[in-house]
Amino acid sequence: MTFVRVCGVGELEEDTPKRVELDGTPVSVVRTEGDVFAISDICSHANVSLAEGEVDDCHIECWLHGSRFDLRSGKPDSLPATRPVPVYPVKIEGDDVLVSLTQES
């Protein structure tokens, strides 16, 4: 599994998604509840950026229609989204946040 540095931990504000691109794949990186998560930045319902949404209780909410996705699994827990979004493995090395495009789910 290949990991790529996407940012420093210090660059991530708590509960504020950061949009990055890895090999042309948009990814939202989020620091919340003591962990860092990487999830597809594209809502499975409306093809919009999840990084523009809000984070609460380990979920990210799509700003357009309000679907919420679990940052740990990518599964939606509210309509209108019914399909999960990919989540990606994250490693922290020192202050570096590393993400692999190998999907966890």
* Encoded tokens for 64: 């357009």
Please write the tens of the pLDDT for every residue from 63-86. 999 999 999 999 999 999 999 999
Residue type, 15: D
What is the predicted pLDDT for the residue at 1? 83
Residue type, 35: D
Residue where the block lists tokens 């999907």: 103
Q: State the pLDDT confidence band at 104, using cuts at 50, 70 and 90.
A: low
What is the predicted pLDDT for the residue at 103? 66
Q: What is the pTM of this model?
A: 0.93
Cβ-count burial of 21 within 10 angstroms (0-12 exposed, 13-18 middle, 19+ buried)? exposed
